């Protein structure tokens, strides 16, 4: 029985010589830059500064390490759900999601683009289950947005004939597009300009103008 992820048990043996969290963060960035299957254990070992056996004893195998890196990348899933549900409108929620993607994909200290979108875009059939995890996070985001949009429809903030699925897919589509554009070197300002453009076309109840700039500011939170 190895002591891998959880387990707060006392360990009277030799202490670990590296910071597990820091090593995980380095692994995340390495996967982020190179992709899941195209990052080798020896790549990770070199970047993390620890030998291969130490990786296995601390994180399990390559798949488990990636999944843990993915969870670190995604942060608390509940906070995202609450942010979307708690936004003043679906449009504000979308603005938040897009602004967050811009920030994440163009960070200075991290690789460009989306760890999941690009690092898990494709690969061999052997890694199909890991890719399915990535697709599940996208589906979860779309589901959250869809229900938030439906709530706006019943709440009178959106026309009742709004196609919630399409609108949610539009946001997801834009986020995924950001990933490729960011990886190609697009600056944050350009991505944000695209986000503003998309939000400008957000459906409205007739007669109610919306201050797009205010919505954008709200997304910076």
Binding site for DNA (CB under 7 A): 2-3, 9-18, 39-43, 50-54, 56-58, 61-63
Residue 123 or 203 with smaller CB distance to DNA: 123
In whole angstroms, give the CA distance from residue 147 to residue 165: 9
Question: Smallest distance, Å, CB 67 to DNA?
Answer: 12
If binding is defined by CB under 8 A, does position 82 make contact with its own copies?
no
Number of residues that bind its own copies (CB under 8 A): 48
Residues 2-41 within binding reach of its own copies (CB under 8 A): 33-35, 37-40
If binding is defined by CB under 8 A, does position 181 make contact with its own copies?
yes
Q: Whose CA is closest to 25, among 7, 44, 10?
A: 44
Cα angle: 118, vertex 170, 77; to 5 degrees: 60
If binding is defined by CB under 8 A, does position 188 make contact with its own copies?
no
| 62-74 vs 41-48: helix crossing angle, rounded to 10 | 60
Question: Smallest distance, Å, CB 170 to its own copies?
Answer: 5
Helix H, strand E, coil C: the string for 38-90 is CCCHHHHHHHHCCCHHHHHHHHCCHHHHHHHHHHHHHCCHHHHHHHHHHCCCH
Count of residues in the chain: 221
If binding is defined by CB under 8 A, does position 140 make contact with its own copies?
no
Among 3, 11, 64, 166, which residue interacts with its own copies (rule: CB under 8 A)? Answer: 166
Residue 149, binding choice from DNA, its own copies, none, Cβ under 5 to 8 Å by partner class: none
Among 167, 215, 216, 219, which residue interacts with its own copies (rule: CB under 8 A)? Answer: 167
Question: Smallest distance, Å, CB 41 to DNA?
Answer: 4
Q: What is the DSSP string of 159-211?
A: -TT--HHHHHHHHHHHHHHHHHHHHTT--HHHHHHHHHHHHHT----TT----
Task: Return the residue matching tokens 């989306």.
Answer: 114
Query: Site residues (CB under 8 A) for its own copies?
Result: 33-35, 37-40, 43, 113, 117-119, 121-125, 127, 135, 138-139, 163, 165-167, 169-170, 172-181, 183-184, 186, 190-191, 193-194, 197-198, 200-201
């Amino acid at each position: 029985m190895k002591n891998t992820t959880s387990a707060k048990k006392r360990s009277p043996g030799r202490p670990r010589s590296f910071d597990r969290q820091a090593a995980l963060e380095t692994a995340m960035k390495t996967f982020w830059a190179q992709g899941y299957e195209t990052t080798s254990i020896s790549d990770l070992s070199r970047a993390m500064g620890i030998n291969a056996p130490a990786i296995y004893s601390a994180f399990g195998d390559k798949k488990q390490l990636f999944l843990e890196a993915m969870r670190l990348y995604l942060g608390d899933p509940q906070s995202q759900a609450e942010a979307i549900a708690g936004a003043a409108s679906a449009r504000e929620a979308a603005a938040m999601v897009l602004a967050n993607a811009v920030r994440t994909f163009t960070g200075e200290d991290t690789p460009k683009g989306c760890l999941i979108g690009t690092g898990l875009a494709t690969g061999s059939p052997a890694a199909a289950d890991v890719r399915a995890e990535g697709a599940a996070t996208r589906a979860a985001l779309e589901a959250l947005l869809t229900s938030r949009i439906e709530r706006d429809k019943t709440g009178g903030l959106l026309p009742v004939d709004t196609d919630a699925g399409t609108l949610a897919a539009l946001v997801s589509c834009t986020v995924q597009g950001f990933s490729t554009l960011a990886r190609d070197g697009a600056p944050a300002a350009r991505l944000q300009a695209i986000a503003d453009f998309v939000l400008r076309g957000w459906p409205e109840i007739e007669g109610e103008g919306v201050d797009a700039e205010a919505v954008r500011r709200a997304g910076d939170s």
